[in-house]
Amino acid sequence: MATETLPDHKALRYARRERALAAMEAHDLDLLVLGRVANIRYVSGVPVLWNAGTRPFGPGAVLVRATGEVHLMSTWDEGVPEEIPHDHLYGITWNPMNYVAVLERIGADVRPHRVGTDATSPLFAQLLPMAFPGAAIVDGGPALRDAKRVKTNEEVDAIRGALAVAEAGLAAAVAELRPGVSERELAGVFMDAMATRGVTTPATQDVVRITTVDADRGARGDGRVHAGDLVAFDAGVVADGYAGEVGRTWPVEPPRAGASVRELYDRWERLWDRLLDACRPGAAGSGLLEAYEAAGEPLPRGPIGRGLGLGFDDPVIVGDLPDTAAKERLDPGVVVVLTGSVTDDRGTVVAHEAVLITPDGPEVLSGSPFWNRERGGATT
């Protein structure tokens, strides 16, 4: 982050827009009407105010295939690059018919046959056909996925930048791990360290979790750490629009008598070797699901692979979506956060690692220490 709000670097903007336009061509889309913040930034290069959680659909940006022009919902020009002139900006409005008027004007020049959107709503499902009479309004998601899936070198650099901040925040929080500290206090340390490094937007806010299974915990309910607990950290930030995420599980020393967790960590390492092995360039995403099976570890509930890009991105690899995973290809340039998770009746050891698929194989982008690799040998 800098001392003024600037558009994304020119190389980043133009490379992304070119990919989006090529995908529009391949999917026969004349216009893309975008509501999701990551997609708006992908085509415009303009930083926008960060909010947590989902947002209702609205036409935040329009990309015109014929001309490559971007029209952007922004009431001011801060952070707007030179290629988006003032007359391509339209302000926020509470009257949806004003958006119809803006889209009609864009459509009048383009006369689109097919308009793609990244989402819609009951309201805009009515309004978009009014703005583009005669045009087919279709799901633009497949085109956007084609454009965004493989990262440019500049995008990978941006992800590395975000990861560096996430790792610094993780280190700061782990340094405060001791009996008596609470989950929320550690989350506060993470947020503080992140913002002190100039990045004020977390990608995940479920930062710290005690994973130890403890019959008393429900009764205590105060989220405070006890000696011997396993504590999972999930550190994610959004820096310059790009997401970085890293996670580790640390046991709180001193260990509980007769309850070594070393074996859980050993199981995690064996699982991790198989996950990384499944990241060969061009391999199917389902290889990650098979890695769990081969390691004899049950799949966790949520995704075990999440793409990184402008925020979280495709692919999503999760046990509930086996066909999707089978179709997904880990091509060079895909960046994915892998989740390794092993659990038994003592608790869970979980870690998240960002991996770049290269033509030569996977490159692990994060370098945060692991308890078992750094200190585990000496303490158990």
Q: Give the whole-angstrom CA distance, residue 265 versus residue 377.
A: 11
CA separation (Å) from 132 to 75, 142, 320?
Answer: 24, 21, 37
Give the chain's radius of gyration (CA, Å).
23
Q: Give the whole-angstrom CA distance, residue 99 versus residue 106.
A: 11
| Contact assessment for residue 7 and residue 46, using Cβ atoms and an 8 Å cutoff | yes
Largest CA distance in the chain: 74
User: Cβ 208 to other proteins, closest distance in Å?
Assistant: 10
- Toward other proteins, which CB reaches closer, 218 or 377? 218
- Toward other proteins, which CB reaches closer, 59 or 303? 303
User: Cβ 114 to other proteins, closest distance in Å?
Assistant: 13
| Contact assessment for residue 29 and residue 115, using Cβ atoms and an 8 Å cutoff | yes
Q: Give the whole-angstrom CA distance, residue 320 versus residue 207.
A: 24
- Toward other proteins, which CB reaches closer, 137 or 372? 137
- Toward other proteins, which CB reaches closer, 204 or 380? 204
Q: Give the whole-angstrom CA distance, residue 125 versus residue 121.
A: 6
- Toward other proteins, which CB reaches closer, 140 or 372? 140
The count of other CB atoms within 10 Å of the CB of residue 29 is 26
Beta strands in 294-346 (DSSP E): 305-309, 311-317, 329-330, 335-344
User: Cβ 324 to other proteins, closest distance in Å?
Assistant: 5
User: Cβ 181 to other proteins, closest distance in Å?
Assistant: 11
Quick one: which H or E segment has residue 228?
none
User: Cβ 207 to other proteins, closest distance in Å?
Assistant: 8
User: Cβ 98 to other proteins, closest distance in Å?
Assistant: 7
- Toward other proteins, which CB reaches closer, 104 or 320? 320
